[in-house]
Each structure stands twice: as structure tokens, then as C-alpha cells.
């Protein structure tokens, strides 16, 4: 299998492999059936409930996986899910999650939902997608997914059936016997029918679909965007985009001898498409360790031993997970490991160096986004890598760096920063989101998806992300890239994670501030970190005015530093200090997200306050605020 190493190699792949030709599968079921025919008895997916390298695990071959997907699709059709209907799932990783993701897309439109969202947001997604069926967990110790699902369905009357998956089947005695006695009770206030997934799916035929497989490209998945506040947007994915992502991995990255360890959640596009779809395209074997992946108990402690157990060749990670892995020694034989693939956020150079020194393995960094189904670019696995870049745009992907002007869009020159705009088979032109209003002004020149990410393309064709437009710290009209501050902080050996944001300032609009989480067992003061970064940040304006050490930084389910929460902390701290200094008996009660105004500080009175004078003081800041009721 050829793996591209340069822009020229990427172009040769396009000429050699006419993506979308007649021999390419049209539907997901055809895609999976082809792999079953080629590799019927090879391992497809493995799952272990607990993280120790000796804990029980279950593996499905490609024949067995197709059978499970067939049963699941047949069950969903029986429950009323047609091509245009939605089956949502709110699940951690498991073999049933894989079957639901694939079977849901075969039967109708599958809608993965992040279980870490609040029940109100989950209900909002269920209503937005008009889901008929929800697949979720049966109540199980140490998780509240079943409880959240019950609350969400009570506020989503369109859900007619709830299918429950019982993780107890993965346990062995005596734990298996104990769970029924300690299983949490769930209060149900909805009218949906609740059925056992395992019991119902076993009634279905596994050797054929009971309905005609759609023969045309169609929307087969709804993935909501990231975030843990506000109402996420819902992106639409077609079969063509899903298969395109798999084709890329199968053509350029993996083959049937590869083993991928993927501790990332299947409700996120990174695991669902570049990993699972690529495994289908190539016949590679994917290992899912524990339901919670990297968040699972003992996963970081046992990780290298799991790599040895499964003879892993590709490690799938995000920068925050790589940083956490570097806090534990490599205490196993990892000679099978060829490459680590990192996505979701830019990779700091210091973290790359630490990982390579510890493992002897390089990291290939890539870039993708939910709105483009996923993949956009990747550093060549076997070729020239530019650490810190996100590599070369992938075959059949066109990336333009554009700047919006009053007269439209102009293309930026080499190394000139602008908005990253993408066109490829994963981009659903004109209808990226389910809500029509959210598609307005989303495309440049009709077909280029505006990602909202800022970046540049260098003279060699490598793409560099410089930040998100909304992440830029704008100090008195001067743009500061938070990545420079984060890189400087992460170069300190005591720093595990760092997030830089703009804190409100009455004079400059914003000033840079940074929050850090330390490596376990290490210690350093904020003043020492400030001295450290002063010598490494090239422009004086970018030196943070505030550095705060936290026990743990807020992170999303896929390990990204969740900056809205850091902004909330900064807004609260700065406004409270300003009110106190001016002698006002008032403080920030909470910081909420408003769809039109962004983050809004709600101010509560703690005593007698001259409202007009306090409003004048708060008005010195560009930060939106309002009196709390």
C-alpha cells in the first residue's frame, strides 16, 4: 500500500485511484460487506470493559461484525426507523456501540450524542433531529447515563422506543452476580417503550437485511458539534463523506495487518470516521479499551501494557491524552508501535519531543472537523513531517486560505494567515447543518466550507493552524495567538496542560491570561511560570497578565481544553475585582452563554448598590453583562 510522503505523492494517488468510480461502494452496507468478503475471519473490533492487560475482552471478526450490524439494522427498521428517520444513541464505547453506529446508518440516520452533555441539551438534540429511537445504557454502577437518558426522553416526546444495552454481559463472576443487586434505580417519567437491546436484537436475522439497501448516496448520520454549554449545532453526513474518510485511511494509512488502539469516544467523528471507517476500508483491527476510553479507570496506568497485549501498530490520541501518557513510564514492550496519530487540537512541539524520546515513535498530526465529516489534512506517516503543522491536504480535498473583504473573499498568499476554507467529498455543500439558518454565510464562493479556524499554507503545501477566529486574543486591536503562550507554558517540565484565553480589560479590550494543570507530583509557582514564559514568548504583548494553576483544567469528552469555561473563570475574576475595587456591593453570580451575545455575566447585588454607577463601571468593559433577576 502506497503512503503519500509529499504533495506530489498525494496528487499521484488522485490520478491512480479515481475515488468515486464505479467499483467504489455506494452504501455503508456494501462497504462493510466488501470487507467481510475480503477478510471474513480476521479480527475487526475488540472491547474490554476494564483496563488491566489480563482483563477479559471480546473480539468480533469481520463476519461477526457484519452479522451484528445486520441484526441491529433489521431491529431498527422493525421499530419504524426508515431511511429518513433518526435513531439516536447515547453510549460509551462497546461492541454494541459499534453495531449501533453502523446499523443505525444502514437503517436510517444515526445520531450519536455525547453522554457528558446535560439532560436538557440531550433532549434538545433529540427534538432537533426528531429521533424516533434512542439506544442507551441500562442502569449500571459508576455511570449516570441511564438517568440522563430517562430525563431527556421525558422532554423529547418524539422518541417512541428506548433500547437499553446492559454492560453486565462483559463482566465475569462474582462481579457479574453483584451488579443486579447494586444497579442504580432510574425514575422514568416518559411514555416511550423500553426494551432490552440484547434480547430484541437476537430475534433478528443476521444473514440478510429484511429491507432493500438504499442504492443512492444519502444523509446517514447527524453529529452534533462539540461543546458542553449552549445548544450544539447538528451536522449532516452522507454515505459518500463517511466512505471517503474510510477510503483515505485504507489507502494512505492502514492495511489488514494493522492494529489500532482507540480510546476515543464513538460519538465523536475522529473515532467514528478516520478510525472505524478506515478500519472497514483496510480490514485493520480496532481495539476499544473500556467504555470511557482514556477517561476509563486505570487506562493511563495500563496503557503501554495494553499496547503490548494487542500488538498495537497505531496509537490514536489527542494532545491532552498524549500529555497524560507522558506522566507514566513506558513500562512494556511497545516495539510493535509504528506511529501515533493525533488530532482534535494543535500539537505543541515540546509534547512531540517528549513522546518521541519516551517511545521512539513519531506522531503524525492531522486536522479535521465535524462539519466536513472529518478529515482534511494529515502529516505523511512515512514521509516528511512538519511538527506543529497539520500536514498536507488529503486527496480530493482542496484547502484555501481566504480573507473576507467588503467585496467578497480574497485568497491569501503563502504563509499569510486567513480563514481555512475546505471543499472535499465530506463537505455537504449548502446543507452542512440541519437548521437552515445556521448554514447562512457558511460557504465562500459557493462550495468552500468556512471552518472558523485561522491558518496558513507554507511554501511546501503544509497547512498550519494558528487558532480559531474566536480564540484570538485581541489586545488593543493587536491579534495575539494563544498557541504561542500555550507552547511556552508546555515547555516547562512541570506543566501537563495549558490553556490561554483573553481576559476582559477596560483599557485594551482583552489581555492574555493562562490556566495550567501540572504534571502529577510536580510543583511550580505562577511567578516561576511567568519568568519561564517571558524568555520564550517573542512579543511582549503576548506575555500573560495572569497565570493560574488549577487542579484540573476543564476538558471536552475528546480531551480538548474547554476554553469557554476558562473564559468564564476569567470574566468572573476580573469583573469581581473591578466591582470590589470600586466599592460596589455586587458580584458575578454566573456567566451564561447567549446565542446572540456569547458569554454574558449576570451580576447580583449583595447589598445596597447605585445601579447606574455600577452599570457605568461595568460598561468600561466590552464584556456583555446583565443584572441577575
- Which pLDDT value is given to residue 544? 96
- Which pLDDT value is given to residue 350? 75
d(C-alpha 312, C-alpha 303), whole Å:
11
Q: Tell me the pLDDT tens digit for each residue of 129-157.
A: 999 999 999 999 989 999 999 999 999 99
Instruction: Tell me how many helices (H) and strands (E) the chain has.
Output: 18, 30
Which residue in the block uniquely carries the three cell numbers 462493510? Answer: 32
d(C-alpha 443, C-alpha 430), whole Å:
7
Concatenating the DSSP letter of every residue in 396-451 gives T-EEEEEEEETTEEEE--TT--EEEEEESTT--TT-SBSSGGGGTT-EETTTEEEE
Length of the chain in terms of residues written: 629
CA distances 433 to 6, 419, 428, Å, are 33, 19, 9
d(C-alpha 58, C-alpha 95), whole Å:
8
Concatenating the DSSP letter of every residue in 486-547 gives HHHHHTSTTEEEEEEEEEEETTTEEEEEEEEEEPTT----HHHHHHHHHTT-SSGGGS-SEE
- Which pLDDT value is given to residue 443? 93
Q: Which helix (H) or strand (E) holds 188?
A: none
Q: Mind listing the domains of the chain with CATH numbers?
A: 7-457 (3.40.50.12780), 472-561 (3.30.300.30), 578-627 (no CATH)
| Exposed/middle/buried for residue 100 (C-beta within 10 Å: 0-12, 13-18, 19+) | buried
Do 35 and 281 contact (CB within 8 A), yes or no?
Answer: yes
Cβ count near 29 (within 10 Å): 22
- CA geometry: angle 298, 301, 305, nearest 5 deg: 105
Q: 391: alpha, beta or left, given left = phi > 0 and alpha = psi -120 to 50? A: left
- Which pLDDT value is given to residue 21? 52
- Which pLDDT value is given to residue 507? 79
Do 77 and 210 contact (CB within 8 A), yes or no?
Answer: yes
Which residue in the block uniquely carries the three cell numbers 449501533? Answer: 100
Q: Look at residue 299 and give its three-state secondary structure.
A: helix
Q: Look at residue 602 and give its three-state secondary structure.
A: strand
Return averaged pLDDT per consecutive 10 residues of the chain, 629 residues in all. Answer: 48 49 73 97 97 97 98 98 97 98 98 90 93 97 94 96 96 92 90 97 97 91 69 89 95 94 94 96 97 94 97 92 88 95 77 89 91 93 83 95 88 91 93 88 91 91 81 75 91 95 87 96 96 88 95 90 94 97 96 80 94 90 88
What's the whole-model pTM score? 0.82
Q: Which helix (H) or strand (E) holds 378?
A: strand 375-378
Q: Is the peptide bond before 407 cis (omega within 30 degrees of 0)?
A: no
d(C-alpha 435, C-alpha 438), whole Å:
6
Do 418 and 452 contact (CB within 8 A), yes or no?
Answer: no
- Which pLDDT value is given to residue 22? 45
Bridge partners of 511? Answer: 503
Amino acid at each position: 500500500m502506497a503512503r503519500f510522503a509529499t504533495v506530489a505523492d498525494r496528487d499521484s494517488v488522485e490520478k491512480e485511484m479515481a475515488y468515486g468510480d464505479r467499483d467504489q461502494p455506494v452504501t455503508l452496507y456494501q462497504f462493510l460487506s466488501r470487507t467481510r468478503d475480503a477478510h471474513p475471519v480476521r479480527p475487526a473490533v475488540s472491547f474490554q470493559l476494564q483496563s488491566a492487560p489480563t482483563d477479559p475482552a471480546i473480539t468480533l471478526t469481520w463476519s461477526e461484525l457484519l452479522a451484528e450490524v445486520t441484526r441491529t439494522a433489521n431491529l431498527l427498521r422493525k421499530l419504524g426507523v426508515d431511511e429518513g428517520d433518526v435513531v439516536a444513541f447515547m453510549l460509551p464505547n462497546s461492541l454494541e456501540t459499534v453495531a449501533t453506529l453502523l446499523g443505525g446508518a444502514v437503517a436510517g440516520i444515526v445520531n450519536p450524542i455525547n453522554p457528558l452533555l446535560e439532560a436538557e441539551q440531550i433532549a434538545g438534540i433529540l427534538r432537533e433531529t426528531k429521533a424516533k429511537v434512542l439506544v442507551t445504557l441500562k442502569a449500571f454502577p459508576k455511570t449516570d447515563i441511564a438517568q440522563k437518558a430517562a430525563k431527556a426522553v421525558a422532554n423529547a416526546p418524539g422518541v417512541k422506543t428506548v433500547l437499553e444495552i446492559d454492560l453486565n454481559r462483559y463482566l465475569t463472576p462474582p462481579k457479574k452476580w453483584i451488579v443486579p443487586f447494586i444497579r442504580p434505580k432510574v425514575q422514568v417519567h416518559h411514555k416511550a417503550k423500553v426494551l432490552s437491546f440484547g434480547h430484541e436484537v437476537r430475534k433478528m436475522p443476521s444473514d440478510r437485511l429484511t429491507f432493500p439497501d438504499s442504492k443512492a448516496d444519502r444523509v446517514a448520520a447527524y453529529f452534533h458539534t462539540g461543546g458542553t454549554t449552549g445548544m450544539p449545532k447538528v451536522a449532516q453526513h452522507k454515505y459518500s463523506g463517511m466512505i471517503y474518510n474510510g477510503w483515505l485511511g485504507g489507502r494512505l494509512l492502514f492495511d489488514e495487518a494493522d492494529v489500532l488502539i482507540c480510546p476515543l469516544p464513538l460519538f465523536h467523528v475522529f473515532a467514528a470516521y478516520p478510525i472505524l471507517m478506515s478500519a472497514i476500508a483496510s480490514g485493520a483491527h480496532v481495539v476499544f479499551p473500556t467504555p470511557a476510553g482514556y477517561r476509563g479507570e486505570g487506562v493511563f496506568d495500563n496503557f503501554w501494557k495494553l499496547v503490548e497485549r494487542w500488538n498495537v501498530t497505531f496509537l490514536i490520541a489527542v494532545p491532552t491524552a498524549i500529555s497524560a501518557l507522558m506522566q507514566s513510564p513506558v513500562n512494556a514492550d511497545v516495539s510493535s508501535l509504528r506511529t501515533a496519530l493525533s488530532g482534535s487540537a494543535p500539537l505543541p512541539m515540546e509534547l512531540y519531543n517528549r513522546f518521541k524520546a519516551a517511545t521512539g515513535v513519531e506522531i503524525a498530526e492531522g486536522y479535521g472537523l465535524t462539519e466536513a465529516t472529518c478529515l482534511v489534512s494529515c502529516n505523511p506517516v512515512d514521509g516528511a513531517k512538519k511538527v506543529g503543522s497539520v500536514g498536507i491536504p488529503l486527496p480530493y480535498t482542496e484547502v484555501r486560505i481566504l480573507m473576507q473583504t467588503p467585496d467578497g473573499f480574497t485568497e491569501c498568499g503563502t504563509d499569510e494567515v486567513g480563514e481555512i476554507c475546505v471543499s472535499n467529498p465530506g463537505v455537504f455543500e449548502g446543507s452542512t447543518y440541519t437548521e437552515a439558518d445556521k448554514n447562512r454565510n457558511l460557504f465562500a464562493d459557493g462550495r468552500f466550507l468556512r471552518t472558523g479556524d485561522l491558518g496558513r499554507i507554507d511554501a511546501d503545501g503544509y497547512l498550519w493552524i494558528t487558532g480559531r477566529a474566536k480564540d484570538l486574543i485581541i489586545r488593543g486591536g493587536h491579534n495575539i495567538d494563544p498557541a504561542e503562550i500555550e507552547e511556552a507554558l508546555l515547555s516547562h517540565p512541570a506543566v501537563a496542560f495549558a490553556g490561554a484565553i483573553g481576559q476582559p480589560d477596560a483599557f485594551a479590550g482583552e489581555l492574555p491570561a493562562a490556566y495550567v494543570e501540572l504534571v502529577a507530583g510536580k510543583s511550580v509557582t505562577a511567578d516561576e511560570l511567568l519568568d519561564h514564559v517571558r524568555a520564550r514568548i517573542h512579543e511582549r504583548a503576548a506575555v500573560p497578565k495572569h497565570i493560574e494553576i488549577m487542579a484540573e483544567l476543564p476538558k471536552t469528552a475528546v480531551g480538548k481544553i474547554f476554553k469557554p469555561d476558562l473564559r468564564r473563570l476569567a470574566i468572573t475574576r476580573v469583573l469581581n475585582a473591578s466591582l470590589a475595587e470600586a466599592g460596589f456591593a455586587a458580584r458575578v453570580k454566573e456567566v451564561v452563554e447567549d446565542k446572540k451575545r456569547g458569554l454574558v455575566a449576570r451580576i447580583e447585588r449583595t447589598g445596597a448598590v447605585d445601579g447606574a454607577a455600577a452599570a457605568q463601571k461595568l460598561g468600561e468593559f466590552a464584556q456583555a453583562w446583565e443584572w441577575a433577576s
